[in-house]
Amino acid sequence: MAEYRLTTVWRIDAPVQQVYDAICRPARWPSWWWGVKNVVELEPGDELGVGSLQRYTWKALLPYALTFTIRVVRVKPLAVLEGIASGELEGIGRWLFSQEGSVTSVCYEWQVRTTRRWMNLLAPIAGPLFVWNHNLIMRAGGRGLARLLDARLVSPAQE
């Protein structure tokens, strides 16, 4: 399987509570995040969301969509959200939040492997395109989150 380690940082001029609340509600992502086609909650978690399971479908410009689930395994309110992905992507996703003055920094770490045979076969050649596609979606997420919060995106996604 092809492995990817991707990091995105958004810096948004908004309180960490507002940013965190938006990220904690993935079922609403399709309304503000281009590329997120569908999010379905399959299992609820505890009061913090630990144990919850969602199914995500993502589609950017390349001619494929990816569907996978994420089980939330760690929540530290206003600081960390972490989940385990399975399906067409397998691995770990982690959101890290911090605030300096009026600016909230959101760092997303995505360490995944592709499970689709064609993606693994093409990874030596198409891997950079897959990363470009991911980065496109993440830039759109930063812009969409800033619009949702009526806030300024201080710096766009950094990969």
Read off the pLDDT of residues 44-99 as tens digits, 9 standing for 90 and up.
999 999 999 999 999 999 999 999 999 999 999 999 999 999 999 999 999 999 99
Which residues, other chains included, contact 100 with Cβ-Cβ below 8 Å and sequence gap of 6+? none
Predicted TM-score (pTM) of this structure: 0.92
pLDDT band with cut points at 50, 70 and 90 for residue 158:
low
**For 121-140, what is the mean pLDDT?**
95
Q: In whole angstroms, what is the distance from residue 139 CA to residue 159 CA?
A: 9
Q: Per the CATH hierarchy, to which homologous superfamily does domain 3-158 belong?
A: START domain (3.30.530.20)
pLDDT band with cut points at 50, 70 and 90 for residue 157:
low
DSSP 8-state assignment for residue 2 = -
**73, 101, 119, 125 from 93: Cα distances, Å:** 10, 26, 20, 25
pLDDT band with cut points at 50, 70 and 90 for residue 1:
confident
Which residues, other chains included, contact 142 with Cβ-Cβ below 8 Å and sequence gap of 6+? 8, 10, 12, 153, 156, 157
Contact 6, 121 (CB under 8 A): no
Per-residue confidence (pLDDT) for residue 155, from 0 to 100:
79
Per-residue confidence (pLDDT) for residue 45, from 0 to 100:
95
Statement: residue 111 has pLDDT above 80:
yes
Rg (CA), the chain: 15
Read off the pLDDT of residues 4-51 as tens digits, 9 standing for 90 and up.
999 999 999 999 999 999 999 999 999 999 999 999 999 999 999 999
Q: In whole angstroms, what is the distance from residue 62 CA to residue 44 CA?
A: 32
DSSP 8-state assignment for residue 12 = E
